[in-house]
C-alpha cells in the first residue's frame, strides 16, 4: 500500500471527507458479482448459498439466514454473528465496517448505511463522502423499513420500531421508534410472561 493510500485510509477511519477517486484502490473489496450470484441462487440450494455468503462477507457465523435479494456496496466489510435472520431487501452500504452480533433479527426493507455526503452541493463533486462504522449488538430486533445511519451503535436486546430512522446510539434493552428514532421505554422482566405480540390489545 502506498503512502497516499495509507493517508486516505486514515481519513476514512477518522470520518473525514474523501472522494471516489481517492478511494478507488478499495475497489477489489467489492463483491458485486458474487452478490448477483447469491440473489439468483435457488432458495433450496442452501449449500451453494452458504458458500457464496462466506465468500461475500467479511465474516459470517453459524445458522445464518439472509433471504434474497440483499444488496451491498462491498459485502466484504460486513461481519455477521451466529443465529442471524435477515429478511428480503436488506441493504448494506458498507464503505466501512458493519458489525452485527449474535441472535439479531432484521425485517424486510432495512438499510444500514455507514456513509453520508456533504450538505453543501459544492462539496459533493467526485461523490465526496464520509463513512463511520455501524455496530448492532446481540439479540437486537430491527423492524421493517428502518434506516440506520453512519456511526450508530444499537445496544444489546434493543427493539427498533418499523419505519424508524436511527441517527444516534440506542441503549441496550430499550424500545425505540420514530424519525428521528427515540427511546420510548425500557425492556423489563414484565415483558417476559406474555406470549402476545407487541401491540395486541386482546
Catalytic residues: 117
Cell digits of residue 161: 420500531
Measured distance CA(96)–CA(125) in Å, rounded: 20
C-alpha neighbours within 13 Å on the C-beta side of residue 122: 0
Name the one residue in this structure whose C-alpha cell is 493510500: 5
CA distance 73 to 148: 15
User: Cα separations (Å) of 40 from 34, 43, 105?
Assistant: 10, 9, 23
Residue 75: C-alpha distances to residues 28, 53, 109, 115, 165 (Å): 11, 9, 17, 14, 22
Q: Is 163 left (phi over 0), alpha (psi -120 to 50) or beta?
A: left
Amino acid at each position: 500500500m502506498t503512502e497516499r493510500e495509507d493517508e486516505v485510509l486514515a481519513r476514512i477511519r477518522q470520518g473525514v471527507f474523501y472522494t471516489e477517486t481517492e478511494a478507488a484502490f478499495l475497489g477489489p473489496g467489492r463483491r458485486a458479482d458474487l452478490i448477483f450470484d447469491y440473489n439468483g441462487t435457488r432458495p433450496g440450494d442452501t449449500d451453494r448459498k452458504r458458500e457464496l455468503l462466506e465468500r461475500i462477507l467479511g465474516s459470517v457465523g453459524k445458522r445464518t439466514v439472509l433471504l434474497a435479494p440483499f444488496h451491498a456496496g462491498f459485502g466484504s466489510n460486513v461481519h455477521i454473528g451466529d443465529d442471524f435472520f435477515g429478511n428480503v431487501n436488506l441493504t448494506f452500504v458498507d464503505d466501512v465496517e458493519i458489525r452485527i452480533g449474535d441472535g439479531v433479527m432484521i425485517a424486510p426493507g432495512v438499510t444500514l448505511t455507514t456513509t453520508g455526503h456533504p450538505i453543501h452541493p459544492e462539496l459533493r463533486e467526485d461523490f465526496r463522502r464520509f463513512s463511520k462504522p455501524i455496530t448492532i449488538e446481540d439479540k437486537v430486533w430491527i423492524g421493517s423499513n428502518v434506516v440506520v445511519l453512519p456511526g450508530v451503535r444499537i445496544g444489546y436486546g434493543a427493539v427498533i420500531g418499523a419505519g424508524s430512522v436511527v441517527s444516534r446510539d440506542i441503549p441496550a434493552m430499550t424500545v425505540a421508534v420514530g424519525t428521528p428514532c427515540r427511546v420510548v421505554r425500557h425492556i423489563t422482566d414484565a415483558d417476559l410472561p406474555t406470549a402476545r405480540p407487541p401491540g395486541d390489545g386482546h
